[in-house]
Structure 1
Amino acid sequence: MRKRVIDFCWLCIGVTLISFGIALMNKSGLGQTAYSGLANVVGQIFTIKNGTVLIYFNIAFVCGQIILLRKGFKALQLLQVVVSYLSGILVNFFIYDFALTSGLIPANYAMQWFFSILGNLFISFGIAIVMVTALIKMPVEAFVQVLSDMIKQPFSRLRTLVDVLCIAVGISLIVLYRLSFSSLREGTWVSMVLLGSSMGLTFPLAKKMIQRFNSVLLKKEQV
């Protein structure tokens, strides 16, 4: 039971890092990840905060899993709803209310890239922590995994397709509603490459860190 509680705490830490990374990419002005970038565009159209749109998107993907799996959907995966809500609230907090990021305006193009890359690294490390805990996946990845298992297509191919669709829909909406391209710019394309490649570094680091902390915490329980 204690192990499950510790894993949930790590899950919350991972979600916090992901949300902070999304906020940094938002403030960079060079574009966000394809998924959060689309959420930002939709938010501009309907005058809804970025994190709030992400809550709706993520819960929609959880509902998609329930529809596809039906009785095969495990009750533990309902934690995705909690994570969706927590993530959205944190994204809103870091973008609009947190003193260090709410008023962040990069001084030049180089600083824009600095915050964009830093945001990617925070997201990558947060995702790695979520993966190591193995409690749940993030809603998008979980939905894609379910779909991958059902139609026998590689997860990586389907996940990339989701990103491409997000970019295509996002750009179409930007043109249609004459919005700023700040949500989907060159940083978005770099993110598609950087997030995946950086996992080779962040995943082993997160795994080692969590194992070390867990061994100490669980030893205390045994004593």
Structure 2
Amino acid sequence: MLQHEKEAGVVDTGSLVRRWITYGAGIYLLTLGVSLAIRAGIGISPQSSLTRTMTLVFPSISQGTFNFALELLMLLLTYLVLPKDFKLRNFLALIPALVLATFLDLNLMLTSWIALDVYAAKFVLLVVADATLAFGLFLMIRANLVLMPVDMFVNTLFKRTGFKWGNLKTGFDCTLLVVSAAIGLIFLGGPQFIREGTVINGILVGQYIKLYFFLFKKFSRS
């Protein structure tokens, strides 16, 4: 699951039981962060904006279901990009993807009561949401178990093209934003869920993860 060498000093290589618990907690916190960001109402991440927009086009289908469908599509694209490297064990990535979809729908239900009118409160909630989401990602990195299909697809593009991983991830996120905006324009009269919070999310999540890496390394050595 490692994507960068700098993660090597953070990952847990011990008990599998502990690592799976850590991974599950990470998925839950990630989906809680996504849910809180949605409730903030000032813009969400590219992947979330696409799946959330789809729930407006097809209201009877949950965001978790659309998220799982996106992960399934990414697994198919992973195979198409580099079929010779695709293994049967790659299908195991659908298990955490299904857990993530379930937790997402659960947390959206649990946070449905949140309705803020004051912009400052929305901004604070988004900052907290991004911190929660990033900590969930950090725990998943630390567990070092299974890549989600979306990340697997980006990694496969990296192997296939040799382009910088960060540039590929940025390009992938921008593609999701364009698709989300296009669907909004075609079916809803305009882009949905793409606002200043989308940019804030892109900046804060990365910085929070760097902070968690720094704090973990600092306190684990003391």
* TM-score under structure 2 length normalisation: 0.84
Name the stretch that deviates more: 199-208 or 14-23: 199-208
CA contact under 8 A between 1:30 and 1:182: conserved in structure 2?
A: no
How far is the alpha carbon of 1:169 from its aligned partner? Answer: 1.5
Q: What amino acid is the match of 1:190?
A: I
Q: Which has the higher helix share?
A: 1
Alignment-derived partner of residue 81 in structure 1: 94
Report the equivalent of 1:92.
Answer: 105
**Mapped contact 1:144–1:159 kept (Cα < 8 A):** yes
Decide which of 9, 19, 31 is 1:7's aligned counterpart.
19
Which of 141, 152, 155 is the aligned partner of 1:131?
Answer: 141
Q: Which AA in structure 1 matches 2:141?
A: M
Match of 2:7 in 1: none
Structure 1 segment 27-38 matched on structure 2, within 5 A: 27-38=39-50
Task: Provide the C-alpha distance between the structure 2 equivalents of 1:70 and 1:142, rounded to a whole number of angstroms.
Answer: 13
Which of 157, 179, 182 lines up with 1:172 in the alignment? 182
Matched, 1:189 2:199: yes
Which range moves more in the overlay, 9-18 or 162-171?
162-171
Output the amino acid matched with 1:165: T
**Cα offset for 1:68?**
3.5
SS in 1 for 2:114: coil
- Structure 1 residues 145, 208: CA separation in 2 closer, same or farther (over 3 Å shift)? farther
Say what the alpha-carbon RMSD is for the aligned residues.
2.3
Match of 1:147 in 2: 157
State the shift of 1:22 in Å: 0.5
1:53 aligned residue (47, 56, 66): 66
Contact 1:120 1:191 in 2 (8 A): yes
Question: Which 5+ residue runs of structure 2 have no aligned equivalent?
Answer: 1-12
Q: Extract structure 1 runs of 4+ deviating beyond 6 A.
A: none
Write out per-residue CA displacement over residues 136-195 of structure 1, whole angstroms, 9 at most, x where no aligned residue.
223212210111111110110010011111111211221222357552111011111111
Q: Could you say if the C-alpha distance between residues 93 and 206 of structure 1 is closer, same or farther in structure 2, counting changes exceeding 3 Å? A: farther
Structure 1: distance between partners of 2:113 and 2:55: 19
Number of matched residues?
208
Distance of 1:208 and 1:57 partners within structure 2: 37
Give the TM-score normalised by structure 1.
0.84
Instruction: Calculate percent identity across the aligned residue pairs.
Output: 23
Structure 1 gaps, min length 5: 213-223
Give 2:75's match in structure 1, choosing from 56, 59, 62.
Answer: 62
